[in-house]
Amino acid sequence: MNAPLNPTAVRQQLYADMSPQHLTPLWEVLHALVPPQPASPCVPAHWRYADVRPFLMRAGEAITAEEAVRRVLILENPALRGQSAVTQSLYAGLQLILPGEVAPSHRHTQSALRFIVEGQGAYTAVDGERTTMHPGDFIITPSWTWHDHGSEADGPVVWLDGLDIPMVRFFDAGFAQNDTRKSQVVTRAEGTSYARYGHNMAPVRQDAPFGATSPIFSYPYERSREALEKLERDAPVDDWDGVKLRYIHPLTGGSPMPTMATFMQRLPPGFNGNPWRQTDGTVYSVVEGHGSVFVENAGQTQEFAFAPRDHFVIPSWHTARLRSQPGCVLFSYSDRPVQQALALHREERLS
């Protein structure tokens, strides 16, 4: 009579025998592949501008904008070092341009946003139209459009670069091309795109020039700030977000970029928000004022006290709440449009 087989030994032998055929048992990894709730490997992180800025200025001494192509310090998630990612789907970096410099023209399939952090008088050009940068402006570089940056300012200009680089890398769909020219030829007057599409009106016989991306590539902060102030004064303040608005594609009402949603919010003085969590990990840039964000996950809570020009990231499905005694303004972006298109996005507003 044969001895009963040891189930563990049988399984281990099975795994060893089938491994050369590049096979692996689902039952050994099922719970990790299909978890009971999102389990992001990312961690919350906070970049104080006072700490980061000296390194940006040193980078300005170490390499020119033309040599670097883009002189950027990447904001890497501490849990994703070496991956050039702030979340698993998003990239963030701070770019510096100095007086008289030009960051040469190129294009790529990755979509990009620029959020101006410090200085004014620099410009970005997209497909023949320039826009002058001012703090708080939100500027878009649509996928596969020629773009360059230059500075006619008296001092340094710094902006936040937000791109969908990790997402495009996941799909193995990244392409780039350098222009034969250092700078584009300007073919349209500054403000042309906003005049055509930025006043709840659109040309009668013209299609969207950038396809799924907004035809407005520069959203001035002064207009966003004015809307927030009026709503803070005249409308109810949300217990979770304060006064929060999303930027839109004027022809569709959707997000201004197919892969990234962008938001601006005002926390009134004395704001002590309720907690929430959502599946889209979000990057924040502090425009004005001071406050704190509390981020909780797996029973551990972190507090980041933020100041103007600071940046922080809240990973997917981490519980967060905002507080500001003097009041503040926050810009943010996430991969929400992709999650919504795939019917994956979830949000919980907690009490």
pLDDT of residue 207: 79
Tens digit of pLDDT for each residue in 164-203? 999 999 999 999 999 998 898 999 999 999 999 999 999 9
Tens digit of pLDDT for each residue in 49-63? 999 999 999 999 999
Tens digit of pLDDT for each residue in 122-149? 999 999 999 999 999 999 999 999 999 9
Cα–Cα distance measured from residue 252 to residue 290, given in angstroms and rounded to the nearest whole number: 34
Tens digit of pLDDT for each residue in 22-81? 999 999 999 999 999 999 999 999 999 999 999 999 999 999 999 999 999 999 999 999
Residue 3 scores a pLDDT above 80: no
Task: pLDDT band for 220, please (50, 70, 90 cuts).
Answer: very high
Mean pLDDT of 72-101: 98
Tens digit of pLDDT for each residue in 227-255? 999 999 999 999 999 999 999 999 999 99
Domain coordinates of the chain in residue numbers? 37-349
* Residue-wise DSSP of 39-99: --S---EEE-HHHHHHHHHHHHHHS-HHHHSS-EEE---GGGTTS--SSSS-EEEEEEE-T
What CA dihedral angle connects 16, 17, 19 and 24, to 10 degrees? -80
Q: Which CATH superfamily is domain 37-349 in?
A: Jelly Rolls (2.60.120.10)
Mean pLDDT across the chain, nearest whole number? Answer: 96
Q: Is 224 helix (H, G, I), strand (E, B) or coil?
A: helix
